[in-house]
Amino acid sequence: MNFENQGVIKRLADQYGPENLAVVLGNGEASGVEVFAETVTQGDPSYAGPLAGVALKIPVYHVLEEEVMAAVPEKLREEKLQLSSLVIDVAPMQQVLQAAREKL
Amino acid sequence: MLEGKKVIAIGERDGVPGPVIAECLGGAGLEVVFQVTECFV
């Protein structure tokens, strides 16, 4: 996750409290998801960004996970997410994110 | 799960972009406090 966004997330966590936040990702591939999840739960794994050593423990989801999709009004879901859900394989990302959430 | 949470939407250019996540979750009645689209090259 780029440093600028890490800085914004840190500021939002200070402002609202990390327990009041959730991160929702839109990654197209599973490869980046684990790093994103680790960054906002345990801290920046590269130890270089503003979240290095900062374990915010913010729960992370993918927008195409069933429980997130279910909260989106049907019309919006059909217009905005249906096509993505056909081409993005969310299952491997869900496994990673579920494991990250269980560790919180 | 997400009820009552303030949402940080981190989209991806080759996946679902941030504004789309924000629009969908806003439509679900959630407060999106930050949205961005990251790009992996």
A76-B7-A7 Cα angle (round to 5): 135
Cα–Cα distance measured from residue A66 to residue B35, given in angstroms and rounded to the nearest whole number: 21
Number of domains in chain A: 1
State the nearest Cα–Cα gap between B13 and chain A, in angstroms: 8
| A84: containing domain | 3-102
Share the mean pLDDT of chain B.
Answer: 94
As a whole number, mean pLDDT of residues A87-95 equals 96
Give the pLDDT confidence of B30-39 residue by residue, as tens digits: 999 999 999 8
Beta bridge partners of A24: A61, B9
| Angle between helical axes of A91-102 and A33-41 (0-180°, round to 10) | 20
pLDDT given at position B39 = 82
Nearest chain A residue to B31 by CA distance is: A21
Region of residue A52 (left: phi > 0; alpha: psi -120 to 50; beta: else): beta
More confident residue, B40 or B23: B23
CA-derived radius of gyration, chain A: 14
CA distance A75 to A4: 33
- Angle among Cα B1, A94, A5 to the nearest 5 degrees reads 75
The pLDDT value recorded for residue B1 is 84
How high is the pLDDT of residue A31?
Answer: 86
CB contact under 8 A, A84 and B12: no
Whole-model pTM above 0.80? yes
Q: What is the pLDDT of residues A10-69, one digit of tens each?
A: 999 999 999 999 999 999 999 889 999 999 999 999 999 999 999 999 999 999 999 999
Give yes or no for a contact between B9 and A27, defined as CB atoms under 8 angstroms apart. no
Residue B40 has pLDDT above 90, yes or no: no
Token pair recorded at residue B36:
């961005």
Binary contact (B14, A29; C-beta < 8 A): yes
Residue B23: predicted pLDDT: 98
